[in-house]
């Protein structure tokens, strides 16, 4: 089953449509690579995908415990390398709110951050730096 459809709109812009929901995302080439930089770049989405996968996987695991991380946030920094141009590093800073977790639960969440499906799917040369603050 097709997950999404992408249309090239010209001027280094695309529109991706999620087939099931019909939601769309616009991408632009980044300003430092001939684009407008007015929307997420494709590599931005890859980095954001890691952070959203981490938080979603944490949420899935916590559902069975009755605990929740609603309101938690993540900040993502993507660092590009040259020759060849590629993502070299993705830094994710998580702030987990309502963190009434035991040390074992905290360690479980840290492990999830490093083993979610996106983390395991990225090329091993991409440095993944994940910082978690339990507040």
- Rounded to whole angstroms, the Cα distance separating 72 from 74 reads 7
Three-point CA angle 32, 44, 132, nearest 5°:
125
Reference 79, options 71, 88, 70; nearest CA is 88
* pLDDT tens for each residue of 36-64: 999 999 999 999 999 999 999 999 999 98
Structural domain of 108 = 42-134
Asked if 61 and 114 sit in the same domain, the reply is: yes
Asked if 97 and 53 sit in the same domain, the reply is: yes
Its pTM stands at 0.94
pLDDT, average across residues 87-104: 94
Asked if 61 and 9 sit in the same domain, the reply is: no
Q: Please, are residues 51 and 92 in contact by the beta-carbon 8 Å criterion?
A: yes
- In 18-130, which residue ranges form alpha helices assigned H by DSSP? 42-63, 103-115, 117-121
Asked if 62 and 124 sit in the same domain, the reply is: yes
For position 60, what pLDDT does the model report?
A: 96
The tally of domains found in the chain comes to 2
Three-point CA angle 33, 48, 20, nearest 5°:
105
Asked if 50 and 91 sit in the same domain, the reply is: yes
């Amino acid at each position: 089953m097709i997950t999404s459809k992408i249309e090239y709109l010209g001027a280094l812009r695309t529109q991706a449509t999620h087939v099931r929901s019909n939601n769309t995302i616009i991408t632009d080439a980044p300003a430092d690579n001939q684009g407008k930089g007015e929307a997420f770049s494709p590599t931005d989405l890859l980095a954001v995908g890691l952070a959203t996968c981490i938080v979603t996987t944490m949420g899935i695991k916590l559902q069975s415990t009755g605990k929740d991380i609603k309101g938690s946030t993540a900040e993502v920094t993507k660092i590009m390398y040259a020759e060849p141009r590629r993502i070299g590093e993705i830094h994710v800073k998580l702030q987990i709110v309502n963190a009434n977790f035991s040390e074992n639960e905290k360690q479980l969440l840290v492990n999830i951050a490093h083993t979610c499906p996106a983390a395991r799917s990225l090329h091993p040369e991409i440095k993944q730096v994940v910082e978690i603050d339990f507040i």
